[in-house]
Amino acid sequence: MTETFWSDAERHLVRYIGASSFVPEIIERAEGSFVHTADGRRLLDFTSGQMSAILGHSHPAVVDTVQRQVATLDHIFSGMLSRPVVDLARRLAESLPEPLSKVLLLTTGAESNEAALRMAKLVTGRHEVIAFARSWHGMTQAAATATYSSGRKGYGPAAPGNFAIPTPDAYRPDFTTPDGELDWRRQLDYSFQLFDAQSVGSLAACIVEPILSSGGVIDLPPGYLAELRDRVHARGGLLILDEAQTGLCRTGDWYAFQRDGVVPDILTLSKTLGAGLPLAAVVTSPEIEQAAHDRGFLFFTTHVSDPLVAAVGNTVLDVLTAERLDVRAGELGAYLRKGLLELAEKHPVIGDVRGRGLLVGLELVTDRETRVPADELGAAVTRRCLELGLHMNVVQLPGMGGVFRIAPPLTATPAELDLGLEILDEAISSV
């Protein structure tokens, strides 16, 4: 049966992961912090599925909601409304600072970013978009055009008016202070000098993640986001924050932007909102929503405002609130970070540990002084972790080492984090 499975997969599936291959395991079920394979192995999931299952797999409250909701109201005409949709919109607004109070419920992160960019262009009457050079915002047209970390070659010309600016990477700084630290203010000066030289004066939006995940878990320096917002606003654009992975308690705050006190013009949520189910949101101000409506904003999709996943979103908010998972993410994140720093003392190939809460990056290098990337080592450690029972995700971008994105469920236990650290320690040692 296993041989048939893989032969069928090879014969019938479109390969969609670029040059990478599928994980060589048949997954039968998942529960809590673990996924279980067809041959009886149990894998500790340090990526929360696709960085989404913040409540772990098959959380009882989510299972109960899905079973109840699918039996009563699952999907309706996109122009109709249901109570779960309006309830979720209200509750999201209540969790956010003013003026973020108008909500559009969709399915994926790419779709929410697509809608946000479409809205920004319509409201401003402009078309230019700024994003980071290591960004990942999705695979639909506008989202993909604002994605620079990978996947750009071979698909023809990108839409005009899209610009990449340098990513503020404190571990590999391009602009430095006299003491060798990242000088992000000089970097921002340079970024907007380049943009202004190329712009036709039509900036619609700047879209960024507060912590770049696929870009190598790069946390924006304190103060950077406010300065970026001011420069974008000065040029007539809107600030869009993509909190697909950082929103809803993962970083120790309900939203990552709260650390900086910067309220975006448009916020996008996805992965964590559905805790693994396809649910996303665009949140903006009444002023922007009114301007978009007056101009005939259209984003009418098959699954906009679907009641089934909206009900799940309400359950996710219930669990996050009742179990105070923002606090738990901060505490577990500190515990995980401490364990990773202890591994760094033991293994010279660990060059950097960074991130916030339960979104942590661990970068491998061949030399700590020169910070020479260790691409092959990252891939080898990933394979060895899988053999030992730990699923890890490694990001490999040009000029960087292998960066592990470590994002266990917010419901993980200290014992499960210890197990992951133990396996990672053994994998690095053996490789």
Catalytic pick from 45, 209, 243, 289?
209
List the structure tokens of 299.
Answer: 């984003």
Catalytic pick from 102, 136, 169, 187?
136
Q: Please, what's the largest Cα pairwise distance for the chain?
A: 64
Catalytic pick from 111, 126, 243, 245?
245
Spatial distance between the Cα atoms of 38 and 117, rounded to a whole number of angstroms: 42
Residues 6+ apart with CB under 8 A from 98: 263
> What is residue 385's predicted lDDT score, i.e. its pLDDT?
97
Catalytic pick from 271, 328, 337, 356?
271
**Is pLDDT above 90 for 201?**
yes
| pLDDT tens readout for residues 254-275 | 999 999 999 999 999 999 999 9
Q: Confirm whether 318 is a catalytic residue.
A: no
pTM of the predicted protein model: 0.97
Handedness of CA 244, 245, 249, 254 (dihedral sign): negative
Q: Confirm whether 405 is a catalytic residue.
A: yes
List the structure tokens of 158.
Answer: 């990108």
| pLDDT tens readout for residues 48-90 | 999 999 999 999 999 999 999 999 999 999 999 999 999 999 9
Mean pLDDT of 340-346: 98
Mean pLDDT of 16-38: 94
| pLDDT tens readout for residues 87-127 | 999 999 999 999 999 999 999 999 999 999 999 999 999 99
Percent of the chain with pLDDT over 70: 99
Query: Within a 10 A sphere around the Cβ of 249, how many other Cβ atoms?
Result: 26
Distance set, CA 307 to CA 244, 302, 337, 344 (Å)? 20, 12, 38, 46
- Give the length of the chain: 431
Chain centroid to CA 227: 22
**Is pLDDT above 90 for 198?**
yes
By the 10 Å C-beta count (0-12 exposed, 13-18 middle, 19+ buried), 348 is classed as exposed
Mean pLDDT of 195-199: 98
By the 10 Å C-beta count (0-12 exposed, 13-18 middle, 19+ buried), 304 is classed as middle
Find the range with the poorest average confidence among 143-157, 183-197, 413-427. 143-157
Chain centroid to CA 418: 24
Enumerate long-range contacts of 83-89, CB under 8 Å, 24 or more apart.
83/307, 84/307, 84/308, 84/310, 84/311, 84/313, 84/314, 85/305, 85/306, 85/307, 85/310, 87/310, 87/314, 88/310, 88/313, 88/314, 88/317
Catalytic pick from 45, 229, 405, 416?
405
Q: Confirm whether 136 is a catalytic residue.
A: yes
**Is pLDDT above 90 for 400?**
no
> What is residue 398's predicted lDDT score, i.e. its pLDDT?
72
**Is pLDDT above 70 for 210?**
yes
Q: Confirm whether 245 is a catalytic residue.
A: yes
Q: Among 411, 395, 409, which residue's Cα sits nearest to residue 361? A: 395
> What is residue 19's predicted lDDT score, i.e. its pLDDT?
81
**Is pLDDT above 90 for 281?**
yes
Domains of the chain: 2-59+324-430 (3.90.1150.10), 73-322 (3.40.640.10)
Catalytic pick from 219, 242, 265, 306?
242
Q: Confirm whether 271 is a catalytic residue.
A: yes
Helix, coil or strand: residue 395: strand
| pLDDT tens readout for residues 122-176 | 999 999 999 999 999 999 999 999 999 999 999 999 999 999 999 999 999 999 9
Arithmetic mean of pLDDT over the chain = 96
Query: Within a 10 A sphere around the Cβ of 280, how many other Cβ atoms?
Result: 27
Mean pLDDT of 281-310: 98
Cis peptide before 84 (omega within 30 of 0): no
Distance set, CA 275 to CA 51, 310, 318 (Å)? 9, 12, 12
Question: Among all chains, which residue has been given the structure tokens 């032969």?
Answer: 7
Are 183 and 173 within 8 A, CB to CB?
yes
Q: How many CA atoms lie within 13 A of 203 on its CB side?
A: 24
Are 158 and 234 within 8 A, CB to CB?
no
> What is residue 88's predicted lDDT score, i.e. its pLDDT?
98
Spatial distance between the Cα atoms of 212 and 219, rounded to a whole number of angstroms: 7
Question: Among all chains, which residue has been given the structure tokens 């401490």?
Answer: 338
> What is residue 79's predicted lDDT score, i.e. its pLDDT?
97
